[in-house]
Structure 1
Amino acid sequence: MYRNTSTPADDNGCGWFHLSPPRDVRPGHSGRTEARWVVLGAGFTGLAAARQLALKFPQDEIVVIEGQQVGFGASGRNSGFAIDLPHDIGAHDYIGDPATARMNLKLNHFAQSMIRTLVEQYGIDCQIRADGKYQAAVEEKGLAVLQAYRSGLDKLGQAYEMIEARDLPEHLGTSFYRQALYTPGTLLLQPAALAMGLANNLPANVSLYENTVITHLEQGDKITLRHANGEFIAHELLLCNNAFASHFGFLPGRLLPIFTYASMTRPLSVEEQARLGGKETWGIIPADPFGSTLRRTPDQRLLVRNSFSFNASGQAQQRYLERAARQHRTSFDRRFPMLPDMPFDYTWGGSMCLSRNHSSYFGSLAPRVHGALCCNGLGITRGTATGTLLANWLAGEKDELTDFLLASPGPNRNPPEPLLSLGVNLNLNWGQRRAGLEA
């Protein structure tokens, strides 16, 4: 028996969530439900796993449990980049080993294809656009990263364009950056709206329960999941809840819930859009991993995301949110002096599940318990791909992508507390200071 001592508790400031098309929230669970397949977590991974299980086992009921509302948690709090290229933040060129990078490229393309198909099939209004992404730099070390990334893309034979400072305002409006590397394959989208749209269009044999917080997990011939108003009995359990899996005794001391923070402006007026210039939509990721990510959305809002904290509980903390909001103002004003005093309508935090060796987990964790966990900052594509492939594997299907995932060493072990929290937060603070103008 494991008692979950840390339950999902995100802040209420997520702009993506509040700006999503309205939906009918599925009711919470009560009583006792037994099912062959139970999926814990209704983010991109869990929704993909549930959909694929329903297609592979059409006679079975698939149960999906979500502790909050769909789109309110981590899946709805990222910056909306469905990245096609390998994005190994632990490698100096973001590529790392070429053979591994090529498999990650196939995984990402697999996920992008699924997302495009589902969005078109169900008419999901999630502002999806094939805009690509800019990786931009302003300091010398950032420029060096772009050159390293360029060499990695050459090894993979992937298309890109190097854009110099004089030409960047035509693309981005701002003249802040000295150079950018543009790659055309990234999809930009509204992540909370995508998650909600996927939840609204699950197969008929999927039962989704929202606002149902599991507090106890008991292993035996079957898996018992208890909550305040009842229990689920699972013949097979799929954990798709990232770092929260460790609070049920799986991968203990191996997962890192790292929070990052974003602010979003009100919509720009027509005059402000003209003053900014550049393309009408774009996405920027930083050359330095501790730098700022930015979006210009189809509804003409500007988003800035930076600042990090390690929240071991996986829950939001107000003091970090307030600190991040101050950094967002500084970062925004550096980049957009032509838009002084632009207010932020929303500020929020959201967690990424990282591991120290940048490896994910895929496969069985215990008898009748399976997991696709730890997306390392690529939740949209990695979650979609691994959730789908986990369901295929449980249905007895394997391919080169499944073999690749099963061969991963998985997340390595972290130092014990309190050294872990102290060390990670010191490292995050130092990284943000070292980022300089990239932040």
Structure 2
Amino acid sequence: MLPIDALPQDDPTPGWFHTSQKRTPKPPLQGNASARFAVIGGGFTGLAAARQLAQNFPNDTVILIEGQQVGFGTSGRNAGFLIDVPHDISSPDYIGDPKIAKQILELNQTGQKILFDLVQQHNIVDAQLRHVGKYQAAVEDEGVRVLEAYRGGLEKLGQPAELIDGKDLPGIVGSHFYKKALHTPGTMLVQPSGLVKGLADSLPANVQLFEDMPITAIEYGAKTVLHHASGTVTADTLVLANNHFGTHFGFMHQRILPMFTYGSLTRPLTAEEQARIGGKDFWGIIPADPFGTTSRRTHDNRILIRNSFTFNADGRFKEGATERFRKAHRLSFERRFPDIKDVPFEYTWGGGLGMTRNGNSFFGELRPNVYGALGCNGLGTVRGTAMGTLLADLIAGKRHPLSDFLLSVEKPNMNPPEPFLSIGVNFTLRRGMANAGMEA
């Protein structure tokens, strides 16, 4: 028996969760249960895997286990961008190998389509999904060079992208802060917690969802036995869709880095404040510098500010982090929106990312009858949805060109041992955030 030495634990103030529609979570299992399939992780990847398994095996039960409440964890704490285009920051044109980039584009678009179709099919209104594209914005000359290189890379892929001059941006995003922005029209924006709650409440009838039920130990064998607070779940086939927590289940040891990034949401802007800044009523900005600030204006007229990173080795939040980074968010907000600088933040929170050194995820079989889709690299919305769906098809014996692609790519690289890992990662984070300059 392998004890699970780190259980999910996030801060209590995720803004997307508390501003989305309230729902009654499914209670944890009391006692023992068995099923052909068990999926651990009730985020985008796990929901997709459970749904597709249920459709592929309509006469079998799929047990889906979430350690917290659906929408409260990582999947409800991101910035809500469903991005279609690849973005390889290690390449001069942000595209890299065109053959790989085309596969990544198709993978992202597959995840987008799955989510869009589910929102329409089940009328998930609280997803607040809008197909408005994204603006990648630059403040300094180096950032402008990034945007120009990226536009060239996207042109090679045949993807539309428009450079917008800074003088035209206030009419779009209500801010005079940026020098230029690159608009790519394929991105969709969502209320991420509202979306995953809706996905959970529209699962097929043969999916049994248990929430607030962390797994405390696991036994591998002919069948997998999962231990929880009041009993066990026994499954013929296990799917791990719990991102960096998969490393605590005996796999991908020292290959996934549990990073946290932080966001703040203002209270809703008044009509007078909205008029003061102008711009469109719904948009999303990502930074030219990876360590810069992401910003959004939401469906309920709030402003989101998201920046700053920490390395949390056990994958759980650190006390005091939200208070510390709330100050950084305040400065970033006031730089961008000086005309409404006194609007307070209502929520500040952190959210986990499962990062790998080479930017690749793990997809496939981990051991007989145990499968995984792990290491989101900050793209868990669309990439996780596509990977969870493709993994369920792989288990059912259905092969797709995209699953063949995922099986063929290099697996996540090994990380250095401690203490060198923490020293190196923390140095890289501090340097990156410092070098972001005005982009932060």
Q: Same fold (TM over 0.5)?
A: yes
Match of 1:261 in 2: 262
1:341 Cα deviation after fit: 1.2
Residue 142 (structure 2) aligns with: 141
Q: Give CA-to-partner distance per residue, 1:50-99, whole Å, 9 cap, x none.
A: 00000000000000000000000000000000001112333343322111
Q: Which residue of 2 aligns with 1:81?
A: 81
Q: 2: CA distance between counterparts of 1:378 and 1:87?
A: 10
The whole-number CA distance in structure 2 between the counterparts of 1:208 and 1:293 is 33
RMSD value, Cα: 0.8
Aligned to 2:201: 200
- Amino acid of the residue matched to residue 31 of structure 2? G
When the two structures are aligned, how many residues end up with a matched partner?
439
- The 1-side partners of 2:166 and 2:117 are apart by 37
Give per-residue Cα distances to partners, 1:357-401, cap 9 Å, x unaligned. 000000000111100111111111001100000000110011111
The letter of the residue matching 2:67 is G
Quick one: distance in 2 between partners of 1:175 and 1:245?
A: 43
Q: 1:160-212 CA distances to partner (integer Å, 9 max, x unpaired)?
A: 11101111111111010000000100000000000000000100000000000
Alignment of 1:48-59 (within 5 A): 48-59=48-59
Task: Letter of the 1:29 partner, please give it.
Answer: L
Q: Tell me the residue number matched to 1:114.
A: 114
Equivalent residues in 2 for 1:154-173, closer than 5 Å:
154-173=155-174
Name 1:377's counterpart in structure 2: 378
Distance in 2 (CA, whole Å) between partners of 1:89 and 1:320 is: 27
CA distance in 2, matches of 1:34, 1:43: 22
The CA distance in 1 between the partners of 2:73 and 2:425, in whole Å, is 23
Task: Write out per-residue CA displacement over residues 242-274 of structure 1, whole angstroms, 9 at most, x where no aligned residue.
Answer: 000001110000001110000000001111101
Residue 188 (structure 1) aligned with residue 192 (structure 2): no
Q: Higher mean Cα deviation, 26-35 or 297-306?
A: 26-35
Give unpaired runs (5+ residues) of structure 2.
Answer: none
Task: After TM superposition, give the deviation of residue 418 of structure 1 in Å.
Answer: 1.5
**Kept after mapping to 1: 8 A contact 2:333/2:341:** no
Look up the match of 1:364.
365
With 91-100 and 212-221 compared, the bigger mean Cα shift is at: 91-100
Whole-Å Cα distance in 2 between the matches of residues 96 and 69 of structure 1?
38
SS in 2 for 1:318: coil
* AA at the equivalent of 1:106: E
Change (3 A) 1:318 1:90: farther
Name the CA distance, whole Å, in 1 between partners of 2:90 and 2:388. 23
CA change 1:175–1:373 in 2 (3 A) is same
What corresponds to 2:228 in structure 1?
227
- Which letter does structure 2 place at the counterpart of 1:263? S
- TM-score, normalised to structure 1, is 0.99
Give the letter aligned to residue 328 of structure 2.
Q
SS of residue matched to 2:351: strand
Are 2:218 and 1:217 equivalent residues in the alignment?
yes
Aligned residue in 1 for 2:286: 285
What letter corresponds to residue 223 of structure 1 in structure 2?
Answer: T
Q: Hey, what does 1:61 align to over in structure 2?
A: 61
Instruction: Show CA shifts across 1:87-116 (max 9, x none).
Output: 233334332211111011111111111111
Match of 1:16 in 2: 16
CA distance in 2, matches of 1:112, 1:397: 21
Equivalent runs, 1:287-436 vs 2, <5 Å? 287-436=288-437
Q: Is the 8 A contact 2:224 2:237 kept in 1?
A: yes
Q: What are the superposed Cα offsets for residues 397-431 of structure 1, whole Å, 9 maximum, x if unpaired?
A: 11111100111211100000111112111110110
SS in 2 for 1:134: strand
1:128 shift after superposition: 0.5
Which amino acid in structure 2 is aligned with residue 21 of structure 1? Q
- My pick for the range that moved more, 186-195 or 417-426, is 417-426
How far apart, CA to CA, are the structure 2 residues paired with 1:430 and 1:79?
Answer: 23
Q: Whole-Å Cα distance in 2 between the matches of residues 14 and 423 of structure 1?
A: 29
* 8 Å Cα contact 2:155-2:161 kept in structure 1: no
CA–CA separation in structure 1 for the residues paired with 2:147 and 2:287: 10
Q: What SS class does the counterpart of residue 32 from structure 2 fall into?
A: strand
* Match in the other structure for 2:175: 174
Q: What is the distance in 1 between the residues matched to 2:93 and 2:43?
A: 29
Matched residues, percent identical? 56
Gaps of 5+ in 1: none
CA distance in 2, matches of 1:91, 1:433: 22
How far apart are the structure 1 equivalents of 2:170 and 2:398?
49
- Conserved in 2, the CA contact under 8 Å of 1:414 and 1:420? yes
- The CA distance in 2 between the partners of 1:189 and 1:95, in whole Å, is 25
Task: Specify the code of the residue in structure 2 equivalent to 1:102.
Answer: K
Q: Would you say the 8 A contact 1:90–1:358 is kept in 2?
A: no
**d(CA) in 1 for partners of 2:102, 2:421:** 33
The aligned amino acid for 1:186 is T
Q: Which amino acid aligns with 1:374?
A: G
Q: CA deviation at 1:148?
A: 1.2
The Cα offsets for residues 118-160 of structure 1, whole Å up to 9 and x where unpaired, read as 1011110211001100000011211111111111111101101
Q: Deviations over 1:295-340 (max 9, x none)?
A: 0001100000000000011000123222211100010011000102
1:32 is displaced (CA, Å) by: 1.1
Q: Is the 8 A contact 2:151 2:162 kept in 1?
A: no
